[in-house]
Chain A
Amino acid sequence: MKGFRKYFIVLIITISVFIAAWLFSVYINDRKLAEIKEAQNQATVDVLSSETQFDLLQEASCQDTSNYLSSEISDLADKITYGEQNFGDQTQLALLKQQYSVLEVKDFLLTKRIAERCKQNTVTILYFYANKDICQDCVNQGYALDALRQQYPSIRLYSFDAHLDSSTIRALLSIYKIPSTLPSLVIDGKTYSGFMSVDALKKALPTTLTNPPKAATATTAVKKAATSK
């Protein structure tokens, strides 16, 4: 093929390859968004089920009550975060994130209600952060909270993007008097502002969690068992 015709044809092919790659990427990302939506719907059903179960069993034993969000909930958070970093169109993700935040608040309220009625020592942490581009301390706080959660898996941690356009989050910010300085944490009802190290977080936790009287209880139980024989 003589002249520049070939250069032009190759240009068309290359542009076509780019368009095909872009369309395929958009298609796959749509599928991923659909997966997030589906998981979110499942989580919504789980929360509603927990609430209904709680209402139904008001007078029943606390043992029958559970408020665990579906096992997909942490996976859902990871996927939303991944989507924020990798998907081009953030509009749908922002909506999903709002829904996810509402879901978290509902689970938080339910946890509190169950803990109060059933006298459970459930520790909850509300974590308010901002985008990593404007809040490096929030990234670091994330590392510290991950470490804390690994040491104390029973802690129920709820993360909220403080800058998300959501009336629910605005209400939370107002109720707990969250300052503009981020990150901010609410640990067992008390508000803390600024970065907290793992040690500082541990100190803020109730002693019932950090120093559980397991040994004494176990010893007493054994003694009681021995005495009854």
Chain B
Amino acid sequence: MFSSRYTGFRLFLHTAVLFFLALAGIPLAALVLPALRGGSLPDALPDGGLLVRSVYVSGLAALLAGVTGTTMAFILERTGFRGRFAVALLLLVPLMVPPYVVAVGLSYLTLPSGPLEFLGTGLLNRLDHLLFGQIGLIITHTAVFTPIPMTMTAAALRAVPPDLEEAARTMAPWHTVMLKVTGPLVAPAAGAGTVAVFLLSLGEVTVPSYFHVNVLGTHILTRLAAFYDFEGAAAGALTTALAFAAILAALAPVWSEAWRALRPSPQRRPRTAHPTVPHGPVRLAAAGLMLFIPFMVAVIPLWGLISVMDSPSDLVSAAVHSADALARSVFMGAGTAMLMTFLGFILGYAVGRGVFTGRRAFLMFALLVLALPPAVMALGFTASWNSGPLEPLYRSGAVVVGALVARFLPVPVFMVMHHLESMPRSMEEAAAVMGAGPVTRLLRIVLPMSAVSLAGVWLVSWVLVVRDTATVMVLYPPGQDTLPVRIFTEMANGSPSTVSSMCLLMILLVLIPPLLVAAATAPLRHKAIGCVQKDQ
């Protein structure tokens, strides 16, 4: 295993890891101690009915998202249809915005003066009643989280050696190859994506709150919202997080297989394309699904939002009305994403290259932090930062950045670790033999080779930070709200036109950097496709 012999460099890496552990651990301690002292743990355990309902709703959402996402992944990677990239980007839209924005869009469809007015009051009322319940929650979570199994399955499909499929197709028809060769290779990734959706759905609270569904997440918040019972809420949050951690630990073999399936090849990208589904009824059906699924998942909620706007000028009015919140979101999002990219790179290197021992414990701790309900964790930050030497930082709003970094840093760390596994260590070892120190190797070899991945890390961090509502809502300094918080506070009795305009602004805000990157890298993609086609 590659290791650094330089004490100063190792100390720096260890300090970075300890910084994250302290950043997330101290608020966690501020939660654990009162919960244990208050003796609220037995009362905080959810009852059986609530657990069954939560598992049923999230399980169904995960199943639907898994099936939909896997289907779309096969269509995008194995049909060669034109416009696949645009379709993939459209499907990503619900994931990039706060989930409640998607819920709002869906609910606006059933407004008496909405786009479905022609259905009549009776049918609209019935639809509205259906939506404001478990069905609305399942539909929204399916729409929001489908991209996760889709991207994981698509990545696994890209990692399958094309010549393997080609060889198999000389012996068997394409559908047998898909089922018996390709399918088993990508199944762990699809499974891991589905499990990820299950866990994300279990912990998400804004959509069940909006649709008035009493599930695990809202149960925890009830103790805060109704009874101001911080100790009880903290105890409930901890039991939920520990349950998540137990589920993740039990499914460790699935994650390991998925990690292996998703590992990019250390060799050069294959210059032959994967064989595609041949012309026929299945290809026709795939074309139909490629239009139908994005329409259901992304276009319909957007349609709900656009339909209640009085005119396009509402968008301009909303931008003027919320200019300060918009600016704050951009500034905070860009800065925090930069910080997360930097820390993610350092920690990903330290943990991924084995410099920091205790990798497994670190990863479990990071997943635990990710699994905690954000609002409860945010109160932990209030309890720990609103006194002593950290108080000036609390007043300044730096606490918001700290809380977001603590919550989301595991994602960049995992992304960097995944990327480093594809980098041949031989290059660093060769440089070491030539006398390059660890800092030189990090900055002159690892960093340049990671530049593209780090751009992806920044984009993912940007989306996670800008769309966050629950953490920022609890911690933002008075008068310094961000756009998602502004939307959330204006939803109560605000005009649907204003709220929907602000939601659309939110979508644009999140999408602009990825779209800019996509536009900038389009020539590179076309060049790559051209090379592959030339080889064929």
Same complex for A and B? Answer no
Residues of A within 8 A of B (CB): none
